Structure 1
Amino acid sequence: MTQASRPAEPTSDFPWPLTFSSFAFGVWVFNTLQANVIFQGRQFVPDEQLLQPSGQHPSPDWKDRWSASFIVAEDMMPPTPVEIAWRSLDGTDHATVLDLINDIFPGWDVRHNVTKAEVNEDWARYDKAVPDILLEVNDRAINIYMRATVLTKLPPVSDRPDNFSREDLISVWTRTF
């Protein structure tokens, strides 16, 4: 039995895989009795969630609109690790430290669902992707996602002929404590 091979990617002179040299960071915490997230010397959990339950997220489609706003510029790379301390709904205290660059994104690769053949070559050659790295603390789990705008040669969705990009939310890392 022969194994089917993947079609070869077209050759091009733009860098592949796409990488980032800066990013935006964002956090959502819910289903915890209390929580705190510290990154780059900044607290990312609202004061009211530090000592009381965070509750559930009010919208079932919240991830569709989730984005980051804290910019980690090139001169801040690599950033400090993320320090997370929280109490899950069962009353158990948890703490962990995550090094986003060395442990989760060691090659600084942008995670996306666009093939090299679909990428707008001029954009990939001259511009840098600045993805959102998104951290979710949810009861006993920590999830890390990436959302990056990747410009494409053609509209990826037929009902949006004016949109030449994709912005998929990609699950990158998860751990249950």
Structure 2
Amino acid sequence: MTQGFRPTEPASGFPWPLTFSSFAFGVWVFNTLQANVIFQSRQFVPEEQLLQPSGRHPSPDWKDRWSASFIVAEDMMPPAPVEIVWRSLDGTDHAAVLDLINDIFPGREVRHNVTKAEVNEDWARYDKAVPDILLEVNDRTINVYMRATVLTKLAPISDRPHNFSREDLVSVWTRTF
């Protein structure tokens, strides 16, 4: 009897890499003199903040609690590009148009820090990932992040022994203007 091929990761019946067919979108704007973000015909900067400085980050750990609330459902895919206009702290006007799906997330891959071997196979086979796509405008820089809940086989964090998931914030794209 001959020995067959031995893959480095266990064979499984779930799709890899993980992909998404819908997502939630959220925005934070900091360190600008003025800013506006339009996505899916919706304004993401509160009206009272459109013509005034945005201020600094609320706390050093603000990204730990950052999540999105605007749902882009499967029937809305692919969405329109995000339109951003802002004035950086040095008084320079900027504009950017970001096509989230075609330019930043081609293939709609979920960005996370979980290996295929660590993923709960039943979850990956039957449930759809609905990640948060998070956009930060910070002075002259735009950052795009993804936070996705990925269920795991083993509890990944020792101080949370009953939590069988990871929700890492992953930096996906950045550009300084």
TM range, smaller chain: over 0.9
Runs (5+) with no aligned partner, structure 1: 1-6
Q: Kindly provide the amino acid, as one letter, of the partner of residue 63 in structure 2.
A: K
Q: CA deviation at 1:64?
A: 0.2
Amino acid at match of 2:42: R
Aligned counterparts of 2:30 and 2:21: Cα–Cα separation in 1: 30
Q: Which amino acid aligns with 2:95?
A: A
Tell me the TM-score normalized by structure 1. 0.95
Q: Any idea what SS the aligned residue of 1:107 has? A: helix
- Partner-residue secondary structure (3-state), 2:103: helix
| Corresponding residue for residue 89 of structure 1 | 89
Instruction: Calculate percent identity across the aligned residue pairs.
Output: 90
Secondary structure, counterpart of 2:125 in structure 1 = helix
Unmatched 5+ stretches in structure 2: 1-6
- What RMSD in Å do the two structures reach over aligned CA positions? 0.8
Equivalent residue for 2:114?
114
Shift >4 Å, 4+ stretches = none
Deviation digits for residues 87-121 of structure 1, max 9, x if unmatched? 00000000010000000000100000000000000
In 1, the alpha carbon distance for the partners of 2:127 and 2:107 equals 18
Q: What is the correspondence of 1:26-175 to structure 2 with a 5 Å cutoff?
A: 26-175=26-175
Tell me the distance in 1 between the aligned counterparts of 2:9 and 2:97: 37
Q: What SS is found at the alignment partner of 2:37?
A: strand
Matches of 1:125 and 1:58 in 2, distance apart? 39
Q: In structure 2, what is the Cα distance between the partners aligned to 1:159 and 1:141?
A: 35
Deviation digits for residues 11-38 of structure 1, max 9, x if unmatched?
Answer: 1110000000000000000100000000
> SS at 1:78's partner residue?
coil
Counterpart of 2:62, as a letter, is W
